[in-house]
Amino acid sequence: MNKTIAVLPGDGIGPEVTAAAKAVIETVGDQFGHTFSFTETAIGGAAIDEHETPLPDETVAVCEDADAILLGAVGGPRWDGNPSHLRPEKGLLGIRKALGLFANLRPVTAYGQLLHASPLKKERVAGSDMLIVRELTGGLYFGEPSERQENGQSVVDTLAYQRYEIERIVEKAFECARIRGKKLTSVDKANVLESSRLWREIVDEKAANYPDVSVDHLLVDAAAMKLVQDPAAFDVIVAENLFGDILSDEASVLTGSLGMLPSASLRADGLGLYEPVHGSAPDIAGKDQANPLAMILSAAMMLRYSLGMEKEAVAVETAVQEVLAAGYHTGDLATTSGKQVGTKEMSQQVIECLLSHDATFGILSTYS
């Protein structure tokens, strides 16, 4: 297959981790007989510096034309004092909205080799394997008005949802639960918010179409608590934009490092943007210290969800697991044993692991 991938490196460690993922994808191409072409384009602070906007029209056009999009990270102290329309984060929110990427999938998996790095007791976090499905183009992030009023003495942000926006994310979450552990937890604040009451109603309505999936509702504060008390109890969690943002950061550290977590942001036709959950980590940018695994695992999600390459995705995920099992880790995965390596060496190890499986993958592709 020939596939076009838009690459948006962004800021901080973004360029390093996207380069690592690109090298892994190229190896997958050689091994499985695909041709990937990459078009690099600017977003975030890098785009502000070059084009005086965090999201140039050209970037949106390149993404629309691509089969899938890889994004590194945006933001950094250099742009912190900028007015709101010139903030790097505007680029990220803008591309999600411009492309209609409403479904954000954030899998959180506890890897056996990394349990020691979790802030929770090993036995509590062991076996955790959840998927957070976050609504990404509505809610408080995009509601109007959002402004200071009365000479700056009053502020308003608006939490707005249309019924169809809730329906499509809830359906996506049910579909995900159906092919995973068949358990859906819907998170809301229905004891306070009207938007949450509609959300809950819709979840109950949709549940009738998924009799194979068990559903429970959890208030967001209780969900935050249960995530640290019993993370292994969750399968799929569905939440509105801001709740999903907060809970996914909380869940991510349970597994040892934010540096491991991938994400996919999808729209209904399959176009997707793939980015690590972590930020731009400006303190270690350019030092070859960043963990590239979240970006590499995001690329695996891209193979699966946008490019229809399931066995290629599994090959990458398997290679990552093998590299961890062999004791390789970056600085964020504090450990006394094993071998600490930098960004380049880590991605090279993943590539070598992929290559070492050539024969097996060859047999798989013959029979598929």
What is the rounded CA–CA span in Å between residue 274 and residue 7?
10
- 135 near ligand IPM, judged by CB under 6 A: no
Query: Among 23-31, 160-168, 241-249, 302-310, which window interacts with Mg ion (CB under 5 A)?
Result: 241-249
Our CB check for Mg ion shows the closer of 246 and 314 to be 246
Our CB check for ligand IPM shows the closer of 10 and 256 to be 10
What is the rounded CA–CA span in Å between residue 109 and residue 129?
4
- 275 near Mg ion, judged by CB under 5 A: no
Q: Which residue's structure tokens are 């990459």? A: 38
Residues of this chain, 55-84, that bind Mg ion according to CB under 5 A = none
Is 121 a residue of the active site? no
Smallest gap from Cβ 246 to Mg ion, in A, equals: 8
Closest by alpha carbon to 108, among 255, 325, 242? 255
**Catalytic residue (choose from 141, 161, 210, 305):** 141
* Token output for 328: 């390789």
What is the rounded CA–CA span in Å between residue 286 and residue 18?
13
- 237 near ligand IPM, judged by CB under 6 A: no
**Catalytic residue (choose from 3, 22, 172, 189):** 189
- Other C-beta atoms closer than 10 Å to the C-beta of 33 total 10
- CA neighbours within 13 Å on the CB side: how many for 10? 33
Is 311 a residue of the active site? no
- 175 near ligand IPM, judged by CB under 6 A: no
Q: Do you find a cis peptide bond into 145, omega within 30 degrees of 0?
A: yes
Question: How many residues of this chain interact with ligand IPM, rule: CB under 6 A?
Answer: 4
Phi and psi for 225 in degrees, rounded to 5? -70, -45
Closest by alpha carbon to 238, among 165, 159, 301, 140? 165
- 165 near ligand IPM, judged by CB under 6 A: no
Is 30 a residue of the active site? no
Q: Of the candidates 16, 67, 188, 245, which one interacts with ligand IPM according to CB under 6 A?
A: 245
- 16 near Mg ion, judged by CB under 5 A: no
CA 251, distance to chain mean position in Å, is: 12
Is 339 a residue of the active site? no
What is the rounded CA–CA span in Å between residue 9 and residue 279?
12
Q: Of the candidates 245, 275, 312, 317, which one interacts with Mg ion according to CB under 5 A?
A: 245
Our CB check for ligand IPM shows the closer of 87 and 189 to be 87
- 92 near ligand IPM, judged by CB under 6 A: yes
Q: Which amino acid is at 247?
A: L
Is 122 a residue of the active site? no
Give the interface with Mg ion as residue ranges (CB under 5 A). 245
Give the interface with ligand IPM as residue ranges (CB under 6 A). 89, 92-93, 245
Q: List residues with catalytic annotation.
A: 141, 189, 221, 245, 249
